[in-house]
Structure 1
Amino acid sequence: MTPIDRRQFATGFVASLATTKNSASANESPQTATPEQLHLKPNGWMPNSPWPVLLYRNALPSTGDLASAMERIFTTNGWPPQWRNGVYPFHHYHSTAHEVLGFAVGHADLVLGGEGGEPLSVHSGDVLVLPTGTGHCRISASDDFLVIGAYPENEHWDICRTAPSPETLASMRKVRFPHSDPLTGSSGALPKLWI
């Protein structure tokens, strides 16, 4: 996995989408609108979240330029992409943003919720929505594994690898509620399930 400057990618990418915000075609529509829900409790130093992780299996067809299709759909639904890369091979969480991971190419085995947490295999076409504080880590991946990382508008991610301080926990509770599902918009599953 070649590292990239994710913030530099975001600046150029968001600018390039300005004219294509509503250009997702009919064949890019999500195939499933009902996600699996994974409820994770605090685990060791990993805070996790009272909101469920949402897993959309086979959300989009694994044909054509799936990465670009995911980027268009996420942008249209208020979750502009900030990077293309993979998933870090260490346990971490984000305290400043919710995150959607669109699996565009390949497959991987992940663990959610911290050490000893929930094992999860993901494949091209799957989409995973992680509420703030959710632990995640890549265990293994195919050589071509490619992920689209996106966040609600005006949210910027951080990387946390230790237990949150009381101040960080207080800050996490103030992260803005996303009023739109990254796949299906404001009428989608997320606003109904994250209550």
Structure 2
Amino acid sequence: MVLVKKYHLPPTALMPNSPNPLLYYPGYFAEQKGLPKTLHQIFDDNGWETQWIYRYGPTQRSHYHATVHECMVVLSGTATIRFGVADLSENMVENTWGTAREAGGIEIKARAGDVFVLPAGTAHKTFDTKPARSFTLLTPGDGHLIPGGDVGAVLEETEQRLEGFTMMGAYPAERRDWNTQRGGEDFGAYQRVWSVPKPALDPVLGHSQEGLFGQWSDYGLSAKL
């Protein structure tokens, strides 16, 4: 049986979060050779599209995506991911390790093989990465699409450069126009964020009731942004 952890994150003054829960599958994929290419095939089979592999730096700004659901899989390293709250300062030390952030939220220690499925609007921030490296997009493109006809071959090449804390991101197929918000941009319009259509299948669990197929409601299924 798959271990699925669910976190219901309420909206805040700056972050919409979602009526549907953040889903976390700890250690679902063991760190292994060929994982990026394997993941890409699984995503594709479930109607999701691989769009990036990033190596993360020591910290980043808290943010959310208002127009798309997201799946992140940890490929290497460890880090802390904070979900559900906004940064309240531009000072990266204060908003990461200090008190310059909204109250609430959760923090998860992420490790290789972990899977996160984020409903649209979910605030997230990755920090305390180990081994420490600089923030780098490892795949070609702009982070919204991996260009070229043979994405699997690109991912095989990218795997050779997986050092530090790296994650692979996927989104429902053909959803490449997603945005990145830092908080407050959609205040008064959270309903629109919550109405992003539910994907037909979970990115890794497919039709399983343990994944979003069974854990998320059909809330806003027919709504359009």
TM-score in terms of structure 2 length: 0.67
Within the candidate set 130, 133, 137, 2:118 is matched to 130
Q: 1:149 to 1:186 in 2, by over 3 A?
A: same
Q: Which residue of 2 aligns with 1:82?
A: 51
**1:70-119 per-position Cα deviation (integer Å, ceiling 9, x unaligned):** 22212221111111104671110000100000111111111000134211
Q: Which residue of 1 aligns with 2:203?
A: 182
Q: Which residue of 2 aligns with 1:67?
A: 36
Within the candidate set 106, 109, 128, 2:80 is matched to 109
Q: Secondary structure at the match of 2:172?
A: coil
Matches within 5 A, 1:157-168: 157-165=178-186, 168=189
Q: Which residue of 2 aligns with 1:47?
A: 16
Structure 1: any 5+ residue segments left out of the alignment? 1-31
Q: Which residue of 2 aligns with 1:171?
A: 192
Q: Which residue of 2 aligns with 1:120?
A: 108
CA shift, 1:46, in A, is 1.0
Higher relative contact order (CA 8 A, sep 6+): 2
- The letter for the 2-side match of 1:130 is L
What CA distance in whole angstroms lies between the structure 1 residues aligned with 2:45 and 2:8?
Answer: 27
**1:3-45 per-position Cα deviation (integer Å, ceiling 9, x unaligned):** xxxxxxxxxxxxxxxxxxxxxxxxxxxxx53410011011231
Q: Which residue of 2 aligns with 1:91?
A: 62
- The letter for the 2-side match of 1:185 is G
Q: Which moved more, 1:84-93 or 1:111-120?
A: 84-93
Instruction: Tell me, yes or no, if the aligned pair for 2:47 and 2:203 is still in contact at 8 Å.
Output: yes
What CA distance in whole angstroms lies between the structure 2 residues aligned with 1:99 and 1:48?
Answer: 13
Identity %: 32
Q: Secondary structure at the match of 1:151?
A: strand
Q: Which moved more, 1:84-93 or 1:174-183?
A: 84-93
Instruction: Tell me, yes or no, if the aligned pair for 2:14 and 2:187 is still in contact at 8 Å.
Output: no
Instruction: Tell me, yes or no, if the aligned pair for 2:66 and 2:179 is still in contact at 8 Å.
Output: yes
Q: 1:86 to 1:49 in 2, by over 3 A?
A: farther
CA shift, 1:166, in A, is 5.6
Structure 2: any 5+ residue segments left out of the alignment? 86-100, 132-163, 218-225
CA shift, 1:55, in A, is 0.1
Q: Which residue of 1 aligns with 2:134?
A: none
Number of residue equivalences: 164
What CA distance in whole angstroms lies between the structure 2 residues aligned with 1:58 and 1:183?
Answer: 13
